[in-house]
Structure 1
Amino acid sequence: MQWYFVAALLTILTSSQGILTTLSQSNGHYTYDYGTVPFLAEFFKLVVSSLLLWRERRVLPSTRMTTEWKSVRLFVIPSVIYLFHNNVQFATLTYVDTSTYQIMGNLKIVTTGILFRIFLRRKLSNLRWMAIVLLAIGTTTSQIKGCGEASCDSLFSAPIQGYMLGILSACLSALAGVYTEFLMKKNNDSLYWQNVQLYTFGVIFNMARLLVDDFRSGFERGPWWSRIFNGYSLTTWMVILNLGSTGLLVSWLMKYADNIVKVIAFTFELTPMVLLSYFF
């Protein structure tokens, strides 16, 4: 499979992610527990990766699988980061519209470029650094509204909480991406085995997050597994499928391309996303 085909498919999926998440809301609020969505998405990725690993081992019994705990435990860190990132995404979309969400998502290129240089010791050309700076400036200025004759209580077009969450999401995405790429290229293990480790921890930590929410609410609504599908609609299931498929494609790019390709694919999604959000 060619990286540019994966990047194109990733562009399509991510351009619809914000729109689907917004469409799953009712009057600006989620009718379901959005913490269950990342859990089911992680479970979906784990099942698919396990099936692909099983098929790979049948074809190639010598498939490399490192099972030492000192290697497996390294996947705990990106799983925790992705846990926070997935939940921050849902919170961000309660404050900003899909276009603003996507524009702020381009900050991932800025944070990824910086982390690339610090942690992976990858050198970027001056032209790329100039592009990163221009992107940061463009993202900021696009959110400054012209007051004109309207009331101008705030300089920005969305609540400050939305921008703070958007920046946090960009930082978490870049950190998780760079760290995961480091792990996947550090050894020669099967991609599917690496995914199984990553998504197993993802399922565990998302379950723990849901249990913590239950304890904090005093189990007023009962345990999370008894209401996991409450308020779900077809759009909610599409969000889960979208998140799961996106994660699988990203892991492929991490293994055989790099984070720069991933964030460039995310940048290309802006135009189709704006057009789709206009109609939906």
Structure 2
Amino acid sequence: MRNLQLALIGVPIGLLGVFLKDASEIRTSGFFNGYTPIVWVIVILQACGGLAIAFVMRYADNILKGFSMGLSVILSTFISYFLFDDFAPNIFLFVGSILVISATVLYGLPSKHNPISTVCPDANKVIVCN
């Protein structure tokens, strides 16, 4: 629901800016003039990425989203190394990648802390949580 509310505000403001700047060009050539197949691929990837983030946030938590974003940057960097000739990774990339992967692995390990006991508000029972 929040996304719909944001879209109801953002879309009209964005369209206002587009039409104030390029109204004559849009009238003559159309709104999607200049969109190449690679642009459509990028648009579709961004839309799928947004849906994937919504899915992660629905069934996981914000911390997991942060780790998945870090891993996606590492994966994108790895793929870029093979796709683009002028890509030159440096030491900061390697150190950052090691930190992100290490943090992700450590987060996924089972906790060694003692269980936390909480009081159930309905029945005054003590529940042991893992």
Which bin holds the TM-score, normalised by the shorter protein?
0.5 to 0.7
Q: CA RMSD in A?
A: 3.6
> 1:99 Cα deviation (Å)?
2.5
1:1-280 paired onto structure 2 within 5 Å? 37=3, 41=7, 47-57=12-22, 71-74=34-37, 75-121=39-85, 122-148=87-113, 150=115
> Of Structure 1 and Structure 2, which has the larger fraction of its residues in strand?
2
Say whether the 8 Å CA contact 2:67–2:100 is kept in structure 1: no
What is the TM-score with the length of structure 1 in the denominator?
0.31
Q: Distance in 1 between matches of 2:18 and 2:94?
A: 39
Unaligned runs of 5+ in 2: 116-130
In the alignment, what sits opposite 1:193? none
**CA shift in 2, pair 1:91/1:148, >3 Å:** same
Relative contact order higher in (CA < 8 Å, ≥ 6 apart): 1
> 1:110 Cα deviation (Å)?
0.9
> Alpha-carbon deviations, 1:27-49, whole Å to 9, x = none?
xxxxx6x9xx47x74x7655444
Q: Larger radius of gyration, structure 1 or 2?
A: 2
Unaligned runs of 5+ in 1: 1-31, 151-280
> 1:93 Cα deviation (Å)?
1.8
Percent identity between matched residues is 7
> Alpha-carbon deviations, 1:39-98, whole Å to 9, x = none?
x74x7655444322333348xx89xxx87x894142321222222222222221232222
The count of residues paired between Structure 1 and Structure 2 equals 108
**CA shift in 2, pair 1:109/1:83, >3 Å:** closer
Q: Which amino acid aligns with 2:72?
A: K
Q: Distance in 2 between matches of 1:45 and 1:116?
A: 32
Q: Which amino acid aligns with 2:89?
A: L
Q: Aligned with 2:58: secondary structure?
A: coil
> Alpha-carbon deviations, 1:93-128, whole Å to 9, x = none?
232222232233222321232233233432121332
